[in-house]
Amino acid sequence: MYYHDRRLQYPVTVEKPDPAFARMLQQAIGGVEGEIRVCMQYFFQAWGNRAPTPKYRDMLLHTATEEIGHIEMLATAVALNLETAPASLQEEGAGDGIVGAVMGGGNARHEIEGLIHKNLLSGGLAAMPMDSDGVPFNMSHIYASGNVAADMYCNVAAESTGRVLAVRLFNAAHDEGMRKMLHYMIARDTMHQQQWLAVLEELGGPSANLPIPNSFPQEMEDQANNYNFYATSVDGTFPEGRWTDGPTVDGHGEFTVFQNKPLGEEPILGPARPDSGAQDQQIG
């Protein structure tokens, strides 16, 4: 169960509100690389964790709980950046100092409204659980497979795309307060990349973990096709690299190359059933 503190994890300040930047921040809230995703992913991994000891359940709860605070920071940042967004016709005029300064004047109203549609119309100038294009977050992006190594790679992937996004937002940020907040979130993403890789190392590293799942006897998979790169180009060329020869990363085999060709036959499904809603011509 959970507790809260009214204060924020880290300071969130905005000197010069920027509605366009508010919309960009939405990607870090409800984008597939965003904070709702990692928060809920770690929670569901924790709550469904099956293991001899509750150690990883525990650890995941710590970080999932931390992530709620990140969504909160970003939601606050969005709201602060929308402080001066126009809500009515009257503000379009020359008198609207801040909007004019931020946006360059002229056709500011349409431009801003076009950028923040739902934040204004549906959210009332606040953050919403959606991405920068207004697409609501879809919870199918919560990866929790029941396999701890697969989950850790999902987490590294999430924190890698997450930090890439945070860096892009940092690069696009005008405001010193926003850059400060983002330089903190970038740092936390660095730690979380490390954290999940540390679990994989603690579990024994590539040779122990791979292939995932390691509980399936590897001799039951097709031994002729588990370490060969399939070259599918019509001219038979392929790019050579670490994946075309030498020992495999798990140390269980050697990389080779297979010039792809069909190993099966043309499938024949045969005529449709008379009562299946097909055309007569298919029933034959």
Pairing verdict, β 256-259 and 228-231: parallel
265 is an annotated ligand-binding site residue: no
Q: Which of residues 111-140 bind its own copies (CB under 8 A)?
A: 111, 113-115, 117-118, 120-140
Name the residue nearer to its own copies (CB basis): 15 or 190.
Answer: 190
CB neighbour list of residue 106: distance below 8 Å, 6 or more residues apart: none
Cα 110 to Cα 81, 82, 117: the distances in Å are: 17, 15, 10
Q: Which of residues 178-207 bind its own copies (CB under 8 A)?
A: 183-184, 186-191, 193-195, 197-199, 201-204, 206
In the complex, minimum distance from the CB of residue 15 to its own copies, in angstroms, rounded to a whole number? 15
In the complex, minimum distance from the CB of residue 274 to its own copies, in angstroms, rounded to a whole number? 7
Directed axis angle between helix 35-47 and helix 19-30, to 10°? Answer: 20
- Sole residue written with tokens 């269980």: 252
In the complex, minimum distance from the CB of residue 82 to its own copies, in angstroms, rounded to a whole number? 9
Interface with its own copies (CB under 8 A), residue from 79, 81, 96, 99: 79
Determine the 3-state secondary structure of 230 from DSSP.
strand
Q: Does 16 bind its own copies (CB under 8 A)?
A: no
192 is an annotated ligand-binding site residue: yes
Q: Which amino acid is at 71?
A: I
Interface with its own copies (CB under 8 A), residue from 17, 42, 43, 99: 43
Q: Does 94 bind its own copies (CB under 8 A)?
A: no
Q: Distance between alpha carbon 125 and the CA centroid of its chain, in Å?
A: 25
Window 238-277: contact mask with its own copies (x via CB under 8 A): xx-xxx----xxx----x----xxxxxxxxxxxxxxxxxx
CB neighbour list of residue 260: distance below 8 Å, 6 or more residues apart: 230, 231, 232
35 is an annotated ligand-binding site residue: yes
CB neighbour list of residue 182: distance below 8 Å, 6 or more residues apart: 166, 169, 170, 173
Q: Does 161 bind its own copies (CB under 8 A)?
A: yes
Interface with its own copies (CB under 8 A), residue from 22, 38, 99, 165: 165
Cα 232 to Cα 254, 266, 267: the distances in Å are: 20, 18, 21
Residue numbers in the known binding site are: 35, 58, 67, 70, 159, 192, 233
